[in-house]
Chains A and B, each alone.
Chain A
Amino acid sequence: MNAIAPVGVNASAFLDRGDVTGNAQRQKAADFLRHVGLPRVGVEAWKYTSLRALADVPFTAAPHATDDKAVDTLLAEIETISGLGAGASRVVFVNGYFDAGRSRLPRGVRVSTLAAGTLPDDGIDPVGDVTTALNTVLARDGLDLVAPAGVDGGCLLLVSIGQTGEAEPVSFHPRHRIVVEKGGRLALLDASAGRGQYLHNPLYDIAVADEGYLSHARVQAEGRQAVHLAVSHARVAAGGVYDSFTLTLGASLSRHEVHAGLTQPGASVHVNGAQLLSGHQHGDLTSVITHAAPDCVSRQTIKNVLSDHARGVFQGKILVERIAQKTDGYQMNQALLLSDGAEIDAKPELEIYADDVKCSHGATVGALDDDQLFYLRSRGIPDTAARSILIRAFLHDVVDQIDDQRLKDSLNLAVEAWWTREVA
């Protein structure tokens, strides 16, 4: 009900860097960004997250991977936390560029990277949303991963490290493509970390073919000065499964936008996640799940644990198109506020055009339950320990929904590590 129409923040600092000549997609994205700017609060899709802060930081193009010792330290930390063991396959990106020296390429799956400076013709609408547009203008590299038909590609670690040290702020915009062919399987642990001031703006183009199976767990543990703007575009075909999870731990400002489309009957998608935020962190999980075919299933559970002055945002839409009869959609969103300065803003949305559907959503917001605390205290458990048990139980509930046991274990380790660092 604002009297003044929202006007975005000038994005020219980014646009001036991108060479869009000769590429219609990039040109279109640049024109769009020039026109709408970087969103600030007031645009409905960005109701609770403003990118205004980006305009004040002079981000420059990130330099190529260096032989920085700090990168190896961060990489070792991630490897430990992942629990996948030394020697596990990994693909490493440093400052948005593929780092062949640090990667250990897997067998069974086909791995390549974007040819320098090209943009794949992936059919993603360059102007569908701001995060995608920004990536389209500036993408320079990215992973191109294919799990071939009928092959179990095992478990792969994808690492992104942002390292600026004391240098000036940089931004990098990798564009990853992950394809699971008919009947193929893949588990992908996708971790990002870094130090210094940088913007990580990855785009994931995900396609799961008939009867394919992709489990994709993201651990966003960027440096506390970083900004993380991720967007996933996933399409799932008949009988395929895309099981995704986003664990948000790092960055001062982060948003992960998921667009998942169920395009053929019998497809299923899970868009789960947890945001564990403290200090003045701002974390935004936004998703649009589109049921574009009958008999599809979508599941979503999002949990927020917010302390200090942290702000958690969840915007989740389930869109059921007219054709998508017999849809089964469920969405749950819960937030635990651990301090009076913390804030949660949630907008769980159902948009339904088919009548023979079963769709529901639920949301709860509050502090730890006094009755539950009392129950534990009355059994001789000290207050801190009792709180710890309840918060971890709250989180366990959602991590437990990850199908793949290896990824589930990794995520549990990541949550434990966060717990040890932040609380204990």
Chain B
Amino acid sequence: MPAVAETRKTVETLGQNTYKWGFETDIEMDIAPKGLNEDTIRLISSRKKEPEWLLEWRLKAYRSWLEMREPTWAKVRHPPIDYQDVHYYAAPRRKPGPKSLEEVDPELLRTYEKLGIPLHEQAMLAGVEVPEGQEARAPVAVDAVFDSVSVATTFRKTLQEAGVIFCPISEAVQEHPELVRRYLGSVVPVTDNFYAALNAAVFTDGSFVFVPKGVRCPMELSTYFRINARNTGQFERTLIVVEDGASVSYLEGCTAPMRDENQLHAAVVELVAMEDASIKYSTVQNWYPGDENGKGGIYNFVTKRGACRGARSKISWTQVETGSAITWKYPSCILQGEGSVGEFYSVAVTNNHQQADTGTKMIHIGRNTRSTIIAKTISAGQSDSTYRGLVRMMPKASGSRNFTQCDSLLIGDRCGAHTVPYIESRNMSARVEHEATTSKISEDQLFYCRQRGLSEEDAVGLIVNGFCKDVLKELPMEFAVEAQKLLQISLEGSVG
């Protein structure tokens, strides 16, 4: 297998210096002291001028968190995390809104530039006060979470006209408390798991989306998550509620600065879909994975769950996971409404010493519910990648269906690929089908491509892209391009 040996050599030589988005922005921050106790939570709550009920909710979460232990069932290893050695609140210093881009902190602008945000969007993100009647229009609305506080939100007006609420969740708490109070924690309860409880106690910001009855959201909604200040854990909270017959497509993209210390990220995403509603949630995750020796990198412990509450509702998760030192993430669907649909499409790439334990849960409660799971895993270097998924058919889920396909591709003989599906059925008329394969890139395929004049790099790229095609085609256009680029970059560092 000379071809593969050569590829491996390329892998080893390239290392991790290809991390394109490893940069750090130096901006004045307002940081809470390290450590977690009730006072920290009160501080966060008061800084955010939160109502009493939310503080109580946070404290309840904190108290149950104290009773909980870190989950140990995932196939990941890391040194113990000192939860007292983390800043739980960091916000950029607020100044009066700049009048033009020239007045904006150049560091911030450089960050945006590297992120590839168009100039007019940069202005909006940086909070430049645009004169009346000069509003720029673009098809994507961005809610940038710059560390813990959403610096600005764009395209609010267009969305407002459609009746869609898209704002930082801290703002939603002030302006739409009745909505937030009704749905917050209704899909992921505060006591759900260790990291979700931690998030509920200390979350600083995130996005809130509300699409009212019958409205098709006029544009794709997008959030750039960035972890920026040294040693600040990022605890995002996203809540998306879509009413009867409405629909939304939400994009979440992540990049983070290169640094040495491990950083903790414990986000919670809750989706609620009512009758005939549909939510498409797409993620491209490219946080710093650590260097080629496994030093540094983000710990990504995320709880994502969607509830298909209404009949015929649909929630679709698509993710391209290439970053983070450790990924612990299981976007799930609770299929409650009759005939509701859940989908999970995932590509997970691990390289060097990355560890990913990711998958989904499909809980079929209602009749005639359907779910599809397509998971593609690519392991290279000395990484470990695990697909872990649960399909559960409850006693009333008559006529429900699930189809699961998990494929793993191993590149090199020092990595690991694992598949751990859980299948539980308590209804005789429900059908579950699962299949999984593990293999390496076939010599035949490589030979075929090389024979037709493709370089080895291109051949491997082509094969891997083909391997992931079923998932990539589910991504919205804007993201598909970025995802393919990302995969290419990850491949540069992994297969040639």
A355 and B410 contact, Cβ closer than 8 Å, known pairs A360-B438, A361-B435? yes
Contacts of A367 in B (CB 8 A): 428-429, 431
Q: Which of B23-31, B63-71, B84-92 participates in binding chain A? A: B63-71
> A residues 317-365 with Cβ under 8 Å of B?
322, 325, 335, 337-340, 342-365
B98 at the interface (CB under 8 A from A): no
Report B348 CB to chain A, min CB distance, Å.
Answer: 15
Q: What are 11 residue pairs bridging A and B, where the CB atoms are less than 8 Å apart in the complex?
A: A340-B427, A342-B428, A345-B424, A348-B423, A355-B415, A356-B413, A362-B434, A363-B433, A363-B435, A364-B434, A366-B429
Q: From A5, A325, A343, A363, give the contact of B421 (CB < 8 A).
A: A363
Chain B 329-366 per-residue mask, 1 if CB under 8 angstroms from chain A, else 0: 00000000000000000000000000000000000000
- CB of A359 within 8 A of CB of B428, answer no
Contacts of A3 in B (CB 8 A): 64, 67-69, 191, 194
A343 and B424 contact, Cβ closer than 8 Å, known pairs A354-B413, A361-B436? yes
> A residues 80-126 with Cβ under 8 Å of B?
none
B130 at the interface (CB under 8 A from A): no
Report B351 CB to chain A, min CB distance, Å.
Answer: 14
A359 and B438 contact, Cβ closer than 8 Å, known pairs A349-B419, A352-B410? yes
B484 at the interface (CB under 8 A from A): no
A1 at the interface (CB under 8 A from B): yes
A351 and B418 contact, Cβ closer than 8 Å, known pairs A338-B428, A363-B432, A367-B428? yes
A44 at the interface (CB under 8 A from B): yes
A359-B372 Cα distance, complex, nearest whole Å? 22
Q: From B194, B408, B414, B440, give the contact of A356 (CB < 8 A).
A: B440
A330-B438 Cα distance, complex, nearest whole Å? 10
- CB of A347 within 8 A of CB of B418, answer no
A356-B467 Cα distance, complex, nearest whole Å? 17
Contacts of B421 in A (CB 8 A): 346-349, 363
B49 at the interface (CB under 8 A from A): no
Query: Which residue of A is nearest B435, CB measured?
Result: A362
Contacts of A366 in B (CB 8 A): 425, 428-432
- CB of B433 within 8 A of CB of A337, answer no
A298-B393 Cα distance, complex, nearest whole Å? 30
- Most-contacted residue by chain B among A47, A350, A362, A364 (CB, 10 A): A350
Chain B 176-196 per-residue mask, 1 if CB under 8 angstroms from chain A, else 0: 000000000000000111100
A367-B194 Cα distance, complex, nearest whole Å? 38
> B residues 422-456 with Cβ under 8 Å of A?
422-440
A342-B430 Cα distance, complex, nearest whole Å? 12
A346-B71 Cα distance, complex, nearest whole Å? 22
- CB of A349 within 8 A of CB of B420, answer yes
Spell out A's residues near B (CB within 8 Å): 1, 3, 5, 44, 47, 322, 325, 335, 337-340, 342-367
Spell out B's residues near A (CB within 8 Å): 1, 64, 67-69, 71, 73, 191-194, 393, 395, 408, 410-440
- CB of A344 within 8 A of CB of B434, answer no
Contacts of B408 in A (CB 8 A): 350, 352
Report B451 CB to chain A, min CB distance, Å.
Answer: 21
A356-B441 Cα distance, complex, nearest whole Å? 9
Contacts of A365 in B (CB 8 A): 393, 423, 425, 430-433
Task: Give 8 closest A-B pairs by Cβ, nearest first.
Answer: A355-B410, A337-B428, A366-B431, A363-B434, A1-B193, A365-B432, A350-B419, A346-B423
Contacts of A355 in B (CB 8 A): 410-413, 415, 440
A345-B395 Cα distance, complex, nearest whole Å? 13
- CB of A344 within 8 A of CB of B436, answer no
A320-B414 Cα distance, complex, nearest whole Å? 12
Contacts of B431 in A (CB 8 A): 364-367
- CB of A344 within 8 A of CB of B419, answer no
Query: Which residue of B is nearest A344, CB measured?
Result: B425
A352 and B71 contact, Cβ closer than 8 Å, known pairs A322-B413, A344-B425, A347-B422? no
Report A77 CB to chain B, min CB distance, Å.
Answer: 32
A222-B37 Cα distance, complex, nearest whole Å? 57
- CB of A349 within 8 A of CB of B68, answer no
A367-B425 Cα distance, complex, nearest whole Å? 11
A366-B192 Cα distance, complex, nearest whole Å? 30
- CB of A347 within 8 A of CB of B438, answer no
- Most-contacted residue by chain A among B71, B410, B425, B433 (CB, 10 A): B425
A223-B281 Cα distance, complex, nearest whole Å? 53
Q: From B1, B430, B436, give the contact of A350 (CB < 8 A).
A: B436
A352 and B417 contact, Cβ closer than 8 Å, known pairs A357-B439, A361-B435, A362-B434? yes
- CB of A361 within 8 A of CB of B419, answer yes
Given contacts A350-B436, A365-B393, 20 further A-B contacts (CB under 8 A): A1-B192, A3-B194, A5-B69, A340-B395, A344-B424, A346-B421, A348-B419, A348-B423, A348-B436, A349-B421, A350-B417, A352-B417, A355-B413, A356-B440, A359-B439, A360-B438, A361-B436, A362-B435, A363-B423, A363-B434
A110-B423 Cα distance, complex, nearest whole Å? 44
Contacts of B71 in A (CB 8 A): 1
Report A39 CB to chain B, min CB distance, Å.
Answer: 15
Contacts of B430 in A (CB 8 A): 365-366
A76-B95 Cα distance, complex, nearest whole Å? 92
Query: Which residue of A is nearest B414, CB measured?
Result: A322
Contacts of A339 in B (CB 8 A): 428
A345 and B414 contact, Cβ closer than 8 Å, known pairs A340-B395, A362-B434? no
- CB of A352 within 8 A of CB of B425, answer no
Contacts of B435 in A (CB 8 A): 360-363
Report B163 CB to chain A, min CB distance, Å.
Answer: 37
Query: Which residue of A is nearest B405, CB measured?
Result: A362
Query: Which residue of B is nearest A346, CB measured?
Result: B423
Report B197 CB to chain A, min CB distance, Å.
Answer: 9
A361-B420 Cα distance, complex, nearest whole Å? 11
Contacts of B440 in A (CB 8 A): 355-357
Contacts of A1 in B (CB 8 A): 71, 192-194
A325 and B413 contact, Cβ closer than 8 Å, known pairs A1-B193, A3-B67, A363-B432? yes
Contacts of A344 in B (CB 8 A): 423-425
A347 and B428 contact, Cβ closer than 8 Å, known pairs A360-B437, A364-B434? no
A364 and B69 contact, Cβ closer than 8 Å, known pairs A340-B427, A347-B421, A352-B418? no
- CB of A345 within 8 A of CB of B69, answer no
Contacts of B426 in A (CB 8 A): 342-343
A357-B417 Cα distance, complex, nearest whole Å? 11
- CB of B418 within 8 A of CB of A350, answer yes
Contacts of B432 in A (CB 8 A): 363-366
- CB of A352 within 8 A of CB of B438, answer yes
- CB of B423 within 8 A of CB of A345, answer yes
- Most-contacted residue by chain A among B69, B419, B429, B433 (CB, 10 A): B419
Query: Which residue of B is nearest A337, CB measured?
Result: B428
A364 and B433 contact, Cβ closer than 8 Å, known pairs A1-B193, A352-B416? yes
A289-B428 Cα distance, complex, nearest whole Å? 30
